C-alpha cells in the first residue's frame, strides 16, 4: 500500500549537515539562537523540537548537544562496507523515505559500538521531501528512548548522502505476519501483546512535554523482535503537537490511505486523537486480518472501517468479521473487550476517543484472560476399517490419533460395498484442533521460538 503524500508544511530545510566555519556571523533567527544557547549548556542537555527547525539554517553540530541518547556518526564508506556495497542480498525492503539494507558491525568498528546486526536506511535522493523525514527521525529518536521505540544507533550526513542506522529487528514488521497468505496465523495472545507494546510506544510519545504526534501508525511501521516484542519505527512524518490541541491545524495531509482520522483529512485538524484513530484501524485489522483498504473488493467493503465498525457493537455480528484463520482459538471475552475498544477508537468525534493511556489499561488485562480453549494440538487421522482409537505419536504435547470411521452397527453387505466404492473416489478429510494455550506451553511465548 503506497503512502498518500501531498506537501510539507513549510519545513523543508536548507540545512548544512557539517558546519566547520567557526567565524560565521551570529544569526538573527530565534530558533537558531535558542539552539546555540542550549548547546552552551553542556551540564544538562535540553530538548529541541521539530518546530525549532522551521525556516532555519540550523546545523547538526548545533543539534548534537541536545541528544539524550548516544548517537554514532558514520562515514558513507563505512556503511557501504557493512552492507557489502548495499548488496541486493542484504536488501530488507523500503522504509518511509528510502531502501533498507541489513549490515553487521563488531566492537572494533567504532568505539562504544557493540557487535550486532543493524538495519541501514538510505534516503532516495530523488525523493524530494526525504531530507525533512530523515531529520525528523534524527531529532526524535536522538532525544527519546523507550522499550517500544526502535533504537537509532547512528546516522550519516555526508555530501548529499543521508542514511540512518537502526537496531535490526529479526521478525520484520507486523504487516508481513498479519496478512501473510502462507504459514501459520499469528495466535490471539501474540496479536494482543504486539498491539499492547505499540500502544505503550504511542502513549510515551503523547506524554512528552510537547506531545509527539506519530501521524503514520500502521502495521508496516510496527517492527518485531525475535520474541515478538513490538517497536514503532519510521518517524519521518512525526510532528510536535500544539500545547493547545484545538489550535493545531495543518494545510497538508500526510500519511497512508485508510489510516488517517476523518477530521484530519477533511479539516487538517491534527491532534494526538488522530493517532488514536489510526490505532483503532490497526486493532480492526488485527481482529479481521483484512487491510485498511482493499480495492479489489466490492465498493461497500473496500474501506475496512466503514465495513467493520458497525458490526463491532453487535455481539451477534461480531463473529462474522473475526479472522477465520484463528479457528475460534481466542478468548471470547477478550475479543469483545477489544471490539468495544476498537469501536471507541474509531469514533468520528475525536473527544469521544480514549487516550492511549486508557488503551494500554484496557489491553493489559486481556492477556490474562483464561477462557481460551485448552488441550494439545490434535491431528485426527481417519483410517478406513478401524474400530478403535490408537495413539500413533505423542511428542511435545502433540498427538496424532486414529479415529473410528465405520459405524459399529451392522450394515447390509450391498450397502457396505457401495460405501467402500464411493470412498475410493472421495478424498479423506482430516480434522485439526488448535489450542493457543498448548502451543504457548510447548513452544514458548513467541509461538515460533522454543521456550528456554
Residue list, annotated binding site for ATP: 121
Cα(200)–Cα(327) distance, rounded to whole angstroms?
29
Cα(358)–Cα(280) distance, rounded to whole angstroms?
13
* Residue pair 72/154 in contact by the 8 Å Cβ criterion: yes
Of the candidates 52, 106, 160, 216, the residue annotated as catalytic is 216
Residue of 227, 115, 249 lying closest to 171 (CA atoms) = 227
* 200 grid coordinates: 505503550
Q: Could you confirm whether 216 is annotated as catalytic?
A: yes
Active-site residue list: 216
Amino acid at each position: 500500500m503506497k503512502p498518500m503524500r501531498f506537501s510539507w508544511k513549510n519545513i523543508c530545510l536548507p540545512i548544512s549537515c557539517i558546519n566547520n566555519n567557526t567565524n560565521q556571523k551570529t544569526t538573527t533567527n530565534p530558533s537558531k539562537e535558542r539552539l546555540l544557547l542550549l548547546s552552551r549548556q553542556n551540564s544538562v542537555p535540553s530538548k529541541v523540537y521539530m518546530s525549532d527547525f522551521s525556516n532555519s539554517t540550523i546545523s547538526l553540530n548545533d543539534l548534537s548537544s541536545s541528544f539524550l541518547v548516544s548517537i554514532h556518526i558514520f562515514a558513507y564508506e563505512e556503511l557501504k562496507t557493512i552492507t557489502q556495497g548495499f548488496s541486493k542480498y542484504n536488501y530488507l525492503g523500503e522504509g518511509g523515505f528510502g531502501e533498507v539494507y541489513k549490515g553487521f558491525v563488531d566492537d572494533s568498528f567504532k568505539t562504544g559500538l557493540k557487535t550486532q546486526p543493524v538495519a541501514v536506511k538510505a534516503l532516495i535522493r530523488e525523493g524530494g521531501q526525504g531530507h525533512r523525514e530523515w531529520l525528523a527521525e534524527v531529532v526524535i529518536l536522538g532525544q527519546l528512548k523507550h522499550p517500544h521505540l526502535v533504537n537509532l544507533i547512528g546516522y550519516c550526513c555526508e555530501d548529499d548522502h543521508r542514511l540512518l542506522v537502526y537496531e535490526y529487528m529479526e521478525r520484520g514488521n507486523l504487516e508481513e505476519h498479519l496478512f501473510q497468505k502462507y504459514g501459520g496465523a499469528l495466535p490471539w495472545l501474540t496479536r494482543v501483546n504486539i498491539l499492547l507494546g505499540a500502544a505503550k510506544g504511542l502513549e510515551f510519545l503523547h506524554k512528552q512535554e510537547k506531545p509527539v504526534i506519530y501521524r503514520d501508525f500502521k502495521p508496516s511501521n510496527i517492527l518485531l523482535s525475535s520474541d515478538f516484542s513490538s517497536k514503532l519505527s519510521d518517524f519521518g512524518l512525526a510532528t510536535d503537537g500544539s500545547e493547545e490541541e484545538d489550535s493545531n491545524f495543518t494545510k497538508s495531509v500526510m500519511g497512508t490511505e485508510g489510516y488517517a482520522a476523518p477530521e484530519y483529512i477533511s479539516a487538517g485538524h491534527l491532534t494526538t486523537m488522530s493517532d488514536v484513530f489510526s490505532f483503532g484501524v490497526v486493532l480492526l485489522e488485527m481482529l479481521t486480518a483484512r487491510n485498511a483498504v482493499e480495492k479489489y473488493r466490492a465498493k461497500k467493503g473496500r474501506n475496512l472501517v466503514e465495513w467493520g465498525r458497525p458490526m463491532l457493537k453487535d455481539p451477534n455480528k461480531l463473529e462474522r468479521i473475526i479472522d477465520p484463520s484463528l479457528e475460534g482459538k481466542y478468548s471470547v471475552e477478550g475479543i469483545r473487550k477489544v471490539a468495544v475498544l476498537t469501536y471507541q477508537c474509531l469514533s468520528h468525534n475525536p473527544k469521544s476517543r480514549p487516550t492511549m493511556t486508557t488503551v494500554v489499561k484496557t489491553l493489559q488485562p486481556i492477556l490474562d484472560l483464561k477462557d481460551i480453549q485448552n488441550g494439545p494440538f490434535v491431528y485426527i487421522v481417519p483410517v478406513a476399517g478401524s474400530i478403535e482409537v490408537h495413539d500413533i505419536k505423542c511428542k511435545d504435547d502433540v498427538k496424532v490419533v486414529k479415529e473410528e470411521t465405520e459405524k459399529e452397527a451392522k450394515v447390509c453387505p450391498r450397502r457396505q460395498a457401495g460405501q467402500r466404492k464411493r470412498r475410493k473416489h472421495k478424498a479423506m478429510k482430516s480434522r485439526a484442533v488448535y489450542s493457543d494455550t498448548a502451543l504457548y506451553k510447548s513452544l514458548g511465548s513467541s509461538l515460533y521460538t522454543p521456550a528456554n
